[in-house]
Chains A and B, each alone.
Chain A
Amino acid sequence: MSAPAIQRPAPTTAAPRRGRGPREASRVSVAVAVVFLVALAVYFLLPVYWLVVNSTKTQGDLVSSNGFWFAHFALLDNLKHLFTRDGGVFLRWALNSLLYAGLGAAVGTLLATMAGYGLAKYTFRGREALFSVILGGVLVPATALALPLFLLFARAHQTNTFWSVFLPSIVSPFGVYLSRIFAAASVPDEVVEAARIDGAGEMRIFFTIASRLMAPAMVTIFLFQFVAIWNNFLLPRVMLSDQQLYPLTFGLYSWQTQIARDPALQTLVIVGSLVSVLPLIIVFLSLQRFWQSGLSAGSIK
Chain B
Amino acid sequence: MTATNTAAQQLTAGPEPTTPRTRRRNRTWLAFVLPFLVPFTLFYVVPIVYAIWQSLFKTQRTGGLFGESHQVFAGLEQYANVLGDDTFRQGVLRVLLFGVVQVPAMLLLALLIALVLDSAVARLRRFFRIAFFVPYGIPGVIAALMWAFLYSPQLSPVVDLLNKVGTAPDFLGANLILWSIANVVTWTYTGYNMLIIFSALQALPQEVYEAARVDGAGALRTAWSIKIPMVRPALVLTAVFSIIGTLQLFTEPVVFQAISTNVTSGYTPNMQAYAVAAANNYPFSAALSVMLALATFILSFGFLRLTQRRAAA
Q: Is the CB of B3 within 8 A of A185?
A: yes
A106 contacts chain B at the CB level, 8 A cutoff: no
- Bound: A301/B273 CA distance, A: 20
Q: Is the CB of B44 within 8 A of A123?
A: no
**Residues of A contacting B47 with CB < 8 Å?**
144-145, 148-149, 152
- Bound: A66/B237 CA distance, A: 42
A82 contacts chain B at the CB level, 8 A cutoff: no
A163-179 interface code vs B (CB 8 A; 1 in, 0 out) = 00001101101001010
B138-176 interface code vs A (CB 8 A; 1 in, 0 out) = 111111011101100001110010000000000000000
- Of B32-40, B66-74, B83-91, the one contacting chain A is B32-40
Q: Is the CB of A147 within 8 A of B285?
A: yes
In the complex, chain A residues 242-301 whose Cβ is within 8 Å of any chain B Cβ: 249, 252-253, 256, 269-270, 273, 276-277, 280-281, 284-285, 288, 292-301
**Residues of A contacting B40 with CB < 8 Å?**
134, 137, 171, 173
A192 contacts chain B at the CB level, 8 A cutoff: yes
**Residues of A contacting B105 with CB < 8 Å?**
none
**Residue among A21, A134, A288 with the most chain B CB within 10 A?**
A21
Categorize the interface residue count of chain B: 35 or more
- Bound: A34/B119 CA distance, A: 12
Residue of A nearest to B43 (CB): A168
Q: Is the CB of A298 within 8 A of B237?
A: yes
Q: Are A234 and B29 also in contact (CB < 8 A) when A14-B202, A40-B132 are?
A: no
Residue of B nearest to A26 (CB): B219
Main secondary structure of the interface of B (DSSP, over half): helix
Q: Is the CB of B4 within 8 A of A111?
A: no
**Residues of B contacting A151 with CB < 8 Å?**
50, 54, 282
Q: Are A234 and B250 also in contact (CB < 8 A) when A121-B18, A123-B23, A141-B289 are?
A: yes
Q: Identify B50's interface contact among A36, A152, A285, CB under 8 A.
A: A152
**Residues of A contacting B190 with CB < 8 Å?**
44
**Residues of A contacting B147 with CB < 8 Å?**
47
**Residues of A contacting B8 with CB < 8 Å?**
296-298
B26 contacts chain A at the CB level, 8 A cutoff: yes
Q: Is the CB of A41 within 8 A of B132?
A: yes
Q: Is the CB of B15 within 8 A of A120?
A: yes
- Bound: A41/B273 CA distance, A: 37
* Min CB gap A242→B, angstroms: 19
A13-25 interface code vs B (CB 8 A; 1 in, 0 out) = 1101111111011
In the complex, chain A residues 161-209 whose Cβ is within 8 Å of any chain B Cβ: 167-168, 170-171, 173, 176, 178, 180-182, 184-186, 189, 192-193, 202-203, 206
Q: Is the CB of B122 within 8 A of A2?
A: no
Residue of B nearest to A227 (CB): B137
A9 contacts chain B at the CB level, 8 A cutoff: yes
Q: Is the CB of A29 within 8 A of B245?
A: no
Q: Is the CB of B4 within 8 A of A301?
A: no
Q: Is the CB of A37 within 8 A of B282?
A: no
Q: Are A189 and B21 also in contact (CB < 8 A) when A141-B247, A180-B15 are?
A: yes
Q: Is the CB of B146 within 8 A of A140?
A: no
Q: Identify B116's interface contact among A36, A192, A281, CB under 8 A.
A: A36
Query: 6 nearest interchain CB pairs?
Result: A118-B32, A184-B16, A9-B3, A297-B7, A115-B36, A122-B29
Write the residues of chain A forming the contact surface with B, with a CB cutoff of 8 angstroms.
1-2, 5-6, 9-11, 13-14, 16-22, 24-25, 29-30, 33-34, 36-37, 40-41, 43-48, 50-51, 54, 63, 66-68, 111-112, 114-115, 117-124, 127-128, 130-131, 133-134, 136-145, 147-149, 151-152, 167-168, 170-171, 173, 176, 178, 180-182, 184-186, 189, 192-193, 202-203, 206, 216-217, 220, 227, 230-231, 233-234, 249, 252-253, 256, 269-270, 273, 276-277, 280-281, 284-285, 288, 292-301
Write the residues of chain B forming the contact surface with A, with a CB cutoff of 8 angstroms.
1-10, 13, 15-16, 18-19, 21-23, 25-26, 28-33, 35-37, 39-40, 42-48, 50-51, 54, 113, 116-122, 124-125, 127-128, 130-143, 145-147, 149-150, 155-157, 160, 187, 189-192, 195-196, 199-200, 202-203, 205-206, 209, 213, 219, 230, 234, 237-238, 241-242, 244-245, 247-248, 250-251, 258, 270, 273-274, 277, 282, 285-286, 289-290, 292-293, 296-297, 300
Could you list some 30 contacts between A and B, CB below 8 A?
A9-B4, A14-B203, A17-B206, A19-B122, A22-B122, A25-B119, A34-B121, A47-B147, A51-B146, A67-B149, A114-B32, A140-B44, A141-B292, A142-B270, A145-B43, A145-B44, A147-B51, A148-B54, A185-B7, A189-B21, A216-B3, A231-B140, A233-B139, A280-B137, A281-B137, A284-B137, A293-B4, A295-B195, A297-B5, A298-B238
